[in-house]
Amino acid sequence: MGRWAVAMSGGVDSAVAAAMLSAEGHEVIGITMNLWPDWLPSAEVSVKACCGVSAIEDARAVARRLGIRHYVLNLRGEFEHAVIGYFVQEYARGRTPNPCIACNQAIKFSLLLQKVSALGFDGVATGHYARLAYDEGSGRHLLLRGRDPRKDQSYVLSGLTQNQLARLRFPVGAYTKAAVRQLAREFELPVADKPDSQEICFVPGGSYSEVVGRFRPEALRSGPILDTHGRVLGTHHGIARYTVGQRRGLGVAAGEAMYVVAIDQERNAVVVGTDEDLLCGELSASQMNWIAFPELSAPREVTARIRHAALDVAAVVHPGRGPAEAVVRFAQPQRAASPGQAVALYDGERVLGGGIITQVHRLAARQA
């Protein structure tokens, strides 16, 4: 039997993960990370936020029910630097970040994993909906989709390294959400019917531009709204308030529906165009993390996902200029891909790897 630290968010998924490992006879402790920033009053942290005060209390109640030790780890400073800082910087650059991926890479599966390993534990278990496997032929640890396609979280885990995958457990990844809730009831866990967290933990009110403005007020400066030919159509209220694909709140009259197609930090401009202008045939990505193999040496047919909630689409991935770069060419044009987002690449159930979108090659721009 092993020794496992379970990252307990206060939700049902991590609670069941802890219960399952404990029932298997492992030595289990629960750790809840205290992440919410000092400048956000506790009263403003929604009960749905995964790192609020109520999350600690819920996780502690689950630990008492299971008879395991529970600890609170203060990682506020590290979280503000590595996750909130990244989030703010990306929006100020006119890009669309994914803070959950940043948190996974910098906090949960890096810093937390280092700390529990130093204490002699085998690794960290979480309530993520994904599965792990080991390929004897290649000697590589594999990441697989979660069994429940509606809850699959493999996209936000595509940055996991071989060293990290070797020391992780995802006990609920082979179950559907309904089955996990039923297990919670069977284990008599107090969070069995707790709603899922829906918000970015440090943006409980949903106004991410306020967070950006706190640290980078220049990202909320007004500037021009341009069409794809450079003509001024109106005035925006700060590039941090806009994302690629956005239609509402533009305040421009052009005789047809207009969408944000690009954000130009250098000109402090928001560029809008038609729905057709959002289509892209290929994208470039950097910070590629290959999971199923050490590096991409030749073009390969894959399916690609460019957002967590998006469907996979057929594509061919090509090696980029360096080992951490790649070019993804889609079989059918894709809508509203955005620099800063992640792209995850699949072969069936296997996650081949993932990276960060750096450039989007739009069809309309190429045709022009």
Residue range of the domain that includes 86: 3-127+171-186
Q: What's the confidence (pLDDT) of residue 20?
A: 98
Whether residue 206 is contained in a domain is answered as no
pLDDT on residue 1: 86
Listed residue (358, 326, 360) closest to 340, CA to CA: 358
The CA distance from 125 to 167, in Å, is 9
176 and 269, same domain (yes or no): no
Residue appearing with tokens 């979108």: 357
CATH code of the domain covering residue 123: 3.40.50.620
* Domain co-membership, 56 together with 38: yes
CB atoms within 10 A of CB 353: 25
Does 258 lie in the same domain as 120? no
Note whether residue 246 is domain-resident: yes
What pLDDT is stored for residue 366 in this prediction? Answer: 45
CA dist 172 and 151 (Å) reads: 11
pLDDT tens per residue across all 368 residues of the chain? 899 999 999 999 999 999 999 999 999 999 999 987 777 655 444 444 555 668 899 999 999 999 999 999 999 999 999 999 999 999 999 999 999 999 999 999 999 999 999 999 999 999 999 999 999 999 999 999 999 999 999 999 999 999 999 999 999 999 999 999 999 999 999 999 998 876 677 776 667 888 898 899 999 999 999 999 999 999 999 999 999 999 988 988 777 899 999 999 999 999 999 999 999 999 999 999 999 999 999 999 999 999 988 899 999 999 999 889 999 999 999 999 999 999 999 999 999 999 999 999 987 654 43
Q: Indicate if 36 and 9 belong to the same structural domain.
A: yes
Q: How far apart are CA 181 and CA 215, in angstroms?
A: 39
Number of domains in the chain: 3
Both 342 and 253 in one domain: the answer is no
DSSP reduced 3-state for 348: coil
Residue 44 lies in a domain: yes
Give the pLDDT of residue 44.
46
The whole-number pLDDT of residue 49 equals 53
Whether residue 155 is contained in a domain is answered as no
Pick the catalytic residue: 50, 51, 100, 103? 103
Q: Tell whether 122 and 250 lie within a shared domain.
A: no
Query: Could you tell me if 267 and 308 lie in one domain?
Result: no
pLDDT at 35: 87
Residue 157 maps to a domain: no
- Strand-by-strand arrangement of the 123-125 sheet: 69-74, 27-34, 3-7, 123-125, 168-169
Q: Do residues 112 and 177 both lie within one domain?
A: yes
- Residue 334's DSSP bridge partners are 280
Q: What is the predicted pLDDT for the residue at 113?
A: 96
Is residue 295 domain-resident? yes
In a domain, 96, yes or no: yes
Residue 204 lies in a domain: no
Q: What is the pLDDT of residue 201?
A: 74
Q: Amino acid identity of 104?
A: N
Q: Which of 51, 100, 201, 280 is catalytic?
A: 201
| Last-in-domain residue among 186, 213, 232 | 186
Strand partners, 316: 301, 329
Residues 263 and 282 in one domain: no
Our answer to whether residue 201 is catalytic in this structure is yes
Give residues with Cβ within 8 angstroms of 331, minimum separation 6: 313, 314, 315, 316
Q: Which two tokens stand for residue 234?
A: 């109106």
